[in-house]
Structure 1
Amino acid sequence: MTYLLMSLPFLGAGLIVFALGALHATRRRTADRYFSSWAAATGALLILTAVFDNVMMMAGFFDYGTEQISGLRLGLMPLEDFLYPIVGALLLSGVWQLLGGSRRGDGGHD
């Protein structure tokens, strides 16, 4: 089984939770902040993943078997590694929104 196939159920769950969070944010009229916050967090996570996965693979801390990956790489890291931060950001954003996010009406800004 490949890492991509193993990740698909988690990606599906992340998309469902994120979509539920988006519905909740739309009802609260905070959808713009919901999507922009998710995009900013996801962008940061993708950059950090690309940098640190490549550094750790260069240092020899780990590698992936060629049979379990698609073969597409960014530097040394397989592209499948980007699914983990994407799914994490989807799940955490959705759960945060569904649990109420910021309790203050102004979105938590001072």
Structure 2
Amino acid sequence: MSYGQLNLVMLGVVAIAAGILAVRARVGARWWLQVALAWVVLTVLTVVFDSIMIAADLFRFDEDKLTGVTLWLAPVEDLAWPLAAALLLPAVWAWLGTRAHARTELERQR
């Protein structure tokens, strides 16, 4: 399995989970804009720090499993992880916040 195939499977699962959680948390357009901004920041940081670590020869990728497309020194396949984090973590956070708010309201009504 190539890194790209692994990324597609992982991103599919993450996108479905994040979508379900975001719908349940009833997030709006502003929330999605903030998620997009977080994704951009995480992507830039990933490119910079992956490139530094690759240049320092801290790790290597199996060249046979890469597409060969890079940003600076970072393979494009490595950018799926910041996308997954930017989608899933805020969705979980919003969903948990909604649950906590509902629990507080329920306790107030008692």
Fold match (TM-score > 0.5): yes
Cα displacement (A) at 1:33:
2.8
Higher normalized helix content (fraction of residues): 2
Which residue pairs with 1:56 in the alignment? 53
Residue identity in the other structure for 2:60: D
TM-score, normalised on structure 2? 0.80
Percent of aligned positions that are identical:
35
How far apart are the structure 1 equivalents of 2:24 and 2:34?
Answer: 15
> In the alignment, what sits opposite 1:36?
33
Runs of 5+ consecutive residues of structure 1 not aligned to the other structure:
105-110
- Superposed structure 1 runs of 4+ greater than 6 Å apart: none
Aligned residue number for residue 19 of structure 1: 19
Pair 1:73-2:70 in alignment: yes
Q: How many residues align?
A: 101
Q: How far apart are the structure 2 equivalents of 1:89 and 1:10? A: 13
SS at match of 1:67: helix
Q: CA deviation at 1:71?
A: 1.0
Letter of the 2:54 partner, please give it. Answer: M
User: Alignment RMSD, CA only?
Assistant: 2.0
Name the TM-score, length of structure 1 as normaliser. Answer: 0.80
Aligned to 1:93: 90
Partner of 1:63, secondary structure, is: coil
Structure of larger gyration radius = 2
Q: Distance in 1 between matches of 2:28 and 2:24?
A: 8
